[in-house]
Chains A and B, each alone.
Chain A
Amino acid sequence: MSHTPFIWATYSIGAVVLLWCALAPLSRKKAVIRDIRRLNQLEERSGDTDA
């Protein structure tokens, strides 16, 4: 039995899992920052209306 496919599969799956785990918080950060900006804009607008 050739061991090569098992080695390739191991390192490919490992790379995908680690890459996904590293990239997931970055996309979450983008969404959070977008959310905070929207919140800031809303607060600024409500501040203008109050004035």
Chain B
Amino acid sequence: MNTNATTRNKDKPRKNWLVMFIHKMGSPPWFYDFSGKLVPWLWAFFVALTVWGLYLGLVRAPADYLQGESVRIMYLHVPAAWMSMLIYTSMAVMGFIALVWRIRIMEILAMSSAPVGGAFTLIALVSGSLWGRPTWGTYWVWDARLTSELVLLFLYLGVIGLYNAIDEPRKAARAACLLALVGAVNLPIIHYSVKWWNTLHQGSSISITGESSIDPSMLWPLLIMAVAVKFYYGANLLTRARVKLLEQDKRKGWVKGVVTERTS
């Protein structure tokens, strides 16, 4: 009996803290203030990890015995391609939460994700194309992986376009979230395209469960860059979300307070 009471008491503060945090996240002034403190740290981690990753990838890592020096394109291409899919997944999840529970912060976060995801998709496509020229002998082929990644870019553009086409921001966000959710069907197609179809694009060399077929001297810079771009996403997402919040709440008292604070 006593043991149960102790366990309950132990759980109580943690549960309260989590519930409080979720509730606070829904409050625009609290979110604005909290994210403002977080953003500089996220940028700092991004810069530090990028410098470290690029040094290892471009200076220390050896050239590949088959691809030669062009393998160095991988340290940007692979993290960008992973981010293009990860950001779309997070946008679809946030869009789902926004549609079901009508949480405004989630709508804002989902819509702020789209330009960042679009930027990473563009980088993945362009860098892949520039890697393809010396390795495959062509900039572009209508291969399943490349085509489905191009469709992903169009989906991002569609979400951004739809959001900007409707004047009322909440209606616009809900319509764009729905499109993001429908477009999520493309994600397994991109991921499994190299298995389902006979593609020119090679299969994955890195496995979470099994052994990776890539040498540690190349794997480490790749992983560091992959972590670095996640910090970039976090920092950029929060920066965009803060601007959208200011824009939507410009007639509210807390925004006037923020602007007055900046002026004084």
Contact = CB atoms under 8 A, between A and B. Distances in A.
Interface stretch (B16-24, B92-100, B116-124, B167-175): B116-124
Contacts of A33: 246, 259, 262
A50 B115 CA distance: 44
A40 B259 CA distance: 10
Contacts of B68: 3
Interface in B95-118: 115-116
A7 B72 CA distance: 7
Nearest to A9: B130
A24 B240 CA distance: 9
A6 B243 contact: no
Given A3-B70, A9-B130, A10-B130, A32 B123 contact: no
Interface stretch (B142-150, B186-194, B248-256): B248-256
B227 to A, nearest CB: 15
Contact of B256 (A4, A17, A21, A36): A36
Interface in A1-20: 1, 3-4, 6-7, 9-11, 13-14, 17-18, 20
B56 interface: no
A37 B259 contact: yes
B250 A14 contact: no
Interface stretch (B6-14, B73-81, B213-221): B73-81
Contact of B232 (A11, A18, A20, A39): A18
Contact-residue bracket for chain A: 20 to 34
B21 to A, nearest CB: 25
A10 B127 CA distance: 5
B133 A6 contact: yes
Contact of B239 (A4, A20, A26): A26
B131 A25 contact: no
Contact of B251 (A1, A14, A21, A39): A39
Contacts of A10: 73, 76-77, 126-127, 130-131
20 contacts: A3-B68, A3-B72, A6-B70, A6-B131, A7-B70, A10-B73, A14-B80, A17-B123, A18-B123, A21-B116, A21-B236, A22-B236, A22-B239, A25-B240, A25-B243, A29-B239, A33-B246, A33-B262, A37-B259, A40-B256
Interface of B: 58, 68-70, 72-73, 76-77, 80, 115-116, 119, 122-123, 126-127, 130-131, 133-134, 232, 235-236, 239-240, 242-243, 246-247, 250-251, 255-256, 259-260, 262-263
Interface of A: 1, 3-4, 6-7, 9-11, 13-14, 17-18, 20-22, 24-26, 28-29, 32-33, 35-37, 39-40
